[in-house]
Amino acid sequence: MKPLLILALEHLYLATAGVFLATLVGVPLGILLTHYRRLAPVVFSLTEMVQTVPSLGLLALLLFVFGLGNKTLIAGLLIYSLLPIVRNTYTGIRSIRPELIEAGKGMGMTRLQLLTQVELPIALPVVLGGIRVALITAIGISTIGVVIGTGGLGQPIWRGIQMENQGMIIQGAATAAALAILAEILLTALEQRITPRGLRKRKAT
C-alpha cells in the first residue's frame, strides 16, 4: 500500500476535482435560476432527490458509464456537490438588497456588469459556504471510492477491515477527518477574507 501522505493527497485530489467541476456547473446554474425563478423549485427538488440516493448505489449506476476508477467517483462527487453550490449561489444573489441593484442600474451598469461587479462580489461568501459544505461532504464520500478501484484514504480503511486491523482503519478514518477539518478551517478563513469590509462590519455589529 502507498504511504499515508500519498493516499491523503490522492484523496484530496479526488474530492477537490469533483467539487471543482460541480462549481463550474452549479454557480452558473444558480445564477440562471435567479432569472428563471419558476424553475428553481424543480431544480432544487431534483438535486435534493439525488442526495437521498445512497452513495454506493449512485456509483454503481455510474460504473456503467465511466467504468472502474477515478472518473466514476469524480462524476458521483460532482452530482452530490451540486445541491449546496446551486442553492447557495441562488440564495446569495437573491438576498442582495434591491437598492444596491437599483444603484448599479442608476450608474448605467449593464446586466453583466451588475452580475460581476455587484451581485457576485456580495454573494461570494455565501457561494463559498456552499462550496465548503460540498468539499467536506466529498471528502467523506471519497472514502468509499476504494470499492470502485480508486485511490485515497479508503484503501487503509478497506484493507484494515479485511485484515481485521483496527489500527489501519483508524489511520485512514482519522486522516480523512483531519482533511475535512482542515478544509473547514481554510475555507472559513477564505470566506471571511473575501467578505467585503462593509458586510464584515455589519456582521460584527
Domain containing 112 equals 4-204
Nine-digit cell at 48? 435534493
Supply the pLDDT for residue 118: 87
100 near 42, Cβ under 8 Å?
Answer: no
* pLDDT at residue 17, as a whole number: 97
Residue with cell 475535512: 180
- How much is the pLDDT for 22? 97
* Domain count along the chain: 1
φ/ψ of residue 108, rounded to 5: 85, 20
CA pair distance 113, 95, nearest whole angstrom: 18
Residues of the chain with pLDDT under 50: 204-205
Residue 72 Cα to chain centre, angstroms: 17
Kindly tell me the burial class for residue 119, based on how many C-beta atoms sit within 10 Å of its own C-beta (0-12, 13-18, 19 or more): buried
The whole-number pLDDT of residue 205 equals: 42
The 10s digit of each residue's pLDDT in 34-80 is: 999 999 999 999 999 988 888 989 999 999 999 988 999 999 999 99
pLDDT value, residue 101: 86
CATH number for position 30:
1.10.3720.10
Q: How far is 177 from 140, CA to CA, in rounded Å?
A: 8
